Amino acid sequence: MIIDRIQLTGKSVYFEDGSGGINIAGQTARTPALGTGKQLEISAIELLIESDEDLADLFTYQDDPLISVTVMKEMFPALFNDPFRHRVHSIAGFDDFKRGKFENCKAMDVEGIPTLVSLGTETCIWTSQRYQMPESIKIDHAAWELAASRRTPKENFLYTITLNTFNAGGGALGSLEIATSLDPSKPRIAEGLDLENIASYQVIFKAEVLRDAALYERQTTLIGESIGTPLLRAINLLEPVETIYDIHSLQELLSRSSDYHLFEFQGQPINRMLATLDLSATMVNSEQQNAGIGKFEFMKIAVADDVFTNVEARLAGELLIKIKN
C-alpha cells in the first residue's frame, strides 16, 4: 500500500456555489463525497470576507448566524451526523450494567469488553437505572453495539430496545421502542426520534434467544459447558447541542481563529477581512455511505444572506491517497 500526502491547493479546495463560482455569500456549500482510498485531513478554513457596508457593525451579536459550519461524520456505523452538534450519552460498561436489573442475563467480560450475556435460551431482559439529567434535554438519534456480528444467523436471537422518558416531575413522557424484534443483521441505529423535555430516561433491552451460542468461561468448573450468548455492549443516545461553529458575530469568528487581519484605514469603514478559522476534522470514505441521499462524510458552510458581498472559503490541510497493490 502506498500512502501519498498532498498539501491542499488549487481551486478544488475552495467551497463553490451552485454554478462553480467561489463567492458563497448567501450560499450553502459542501465538500463532495470522497472516493475509495482518499482521506481529507482538515486543519482550518481560510476566509476572505468583503462587504459594501462597514463590517464593524457585525462585531456585535446577531440573532441569526453569520457563518455556520457543519462537520458530517459517521459517528456510529451508518449513523452520519455532526459530532460538534451532539452530546453522546453512552450506556455501557460494568458500572452501568450492574446498576440495572437482570432477568436471565448477566454482565461479563467478553474479549475485553463488558457485555450483557444471556443465560440459556429463555427470554432475557436488562433494565437500566433511571438516569437523571441536570436539566431537560432532547434526544434525536440512537445507536447501539451488539457483540454479535452482522453475519450472525438471523435465527440466533431477536432483540428489542425500549427507551422510557420522564419529565421534571417524574411523570412518564412515553415509552418508545427504538428497536423492535430485530435480528443481528439489521442496522443498529434509530434516527429522527425527536424527543423533547426529557429530565430522566431509562432503557430496557430484551432478547429472545432462539439458539444458544457457544460462549465458554475459562474460570468455570464445568469444562466445556456453554454459559450463554453475548448480546449487548452499548447503547448510545445523541442529544443535540449548540455548536461553537454557529458564528453569530465577527468577534466570535476572530476569537476562534488562529490568525486574522482587518483591512483598516484611518477614518474609513472596514470593508474587508481575512480569518483562519481553526477546525480540525478528518473526512474519509465509508463503506456505509450513500452519496445519493447525502449520507457521507463532508464539511458544509452556510453564509448568511444579504450581509456580505463576497465570501471565499478555502480548506487548509492535506489529502491522503492510499493505493493498494
Q: Is the pTM of this model over 0.75?
A: yes
| 193 pLDDT more than 50 | yes
Q: In this predicted model, what pLDDT tens digit does every residue of 25-78 receive, in sequence order?
A: 999 999 999 999 999 999 999 999 999 999 999 999 999 999 999 999 999 999
Residues 233 and 176 placed together within one structural domain of the fold: yes
Among 198, 218, 240, which residue terminates a domain? 240
Radius of gyration in angstroms for the set of CA atoms belonging to the chain, rounded to a whole number: 25
108 shares a domain with 63: no
Residue 14 gets which letter from DSSP? B
State the average pLDDT for the chain. 92
Residues 115 and 52 in one domain: no
Q: Is 81 part of any domain? A: no
Position 200 in a domain: yes
Residue 298, helix vs strand vs coil: strand
pLDDT of residue 248: 98
For residues 226 and 110, state if they share a domain. yes
Query: Are 63 and 103 part of one and the same domain?
Result: no
Q: What is the pLDDT of residue 266?
A: 82
Residues 120 and 65 in one domain: no
**Is 228 domain-assigned?**
yes
C-alpha cell read off for 119: 443465560
**CA distance linking residue 69 with residue 310, whole number of Å:** 17
- Cell numbers found for residue 310: 463576497
CB-CB contact of 237 with 5 (8 Å): no
Question: Is residue 159 a contact partner of residue 231, using CB atoms and an 8 Å limit?
Answer: yes
Q: End of a domain among 210, 240, 270?
A: 240
Checking if the pLDDT of 218 tops 80, the result is no
248 and 194 in a single domain? The answer is: no
Considering the domain architecture, whether residues 139 and 180 belong to the same structural domain is answered as yes
166 and 219 in a single domain? The answer is yes
Give the count of domains, the chain. Answer: 2
Q: How far apart are CA 267 and CA 8, in angstroms?
A: 38
pLDDT at position 228: 75
Which residue range forms the structural domain that includes residue 250? 2-76+244-323
Confidence tier at 225 by pLDDT (50, 70, 90): very low
Domain boundary among 222, 240, 258: 240
* 109 and 218 fall within a common domain: yes
Question: Around 224, how many Cα atoms within 13 Å sit in the side-chain half-sphere?
Answer: 0
Same domain, 139 and 226: yes
| Mean pLDDT computed over 202-214 | 83
> What CATH number is associated with residue 99?
2.60.120
**Residues 46 and 94 both lie in one domain:** no
Query: Contact, 271 vs 307, CB < 8 A?
Result: no
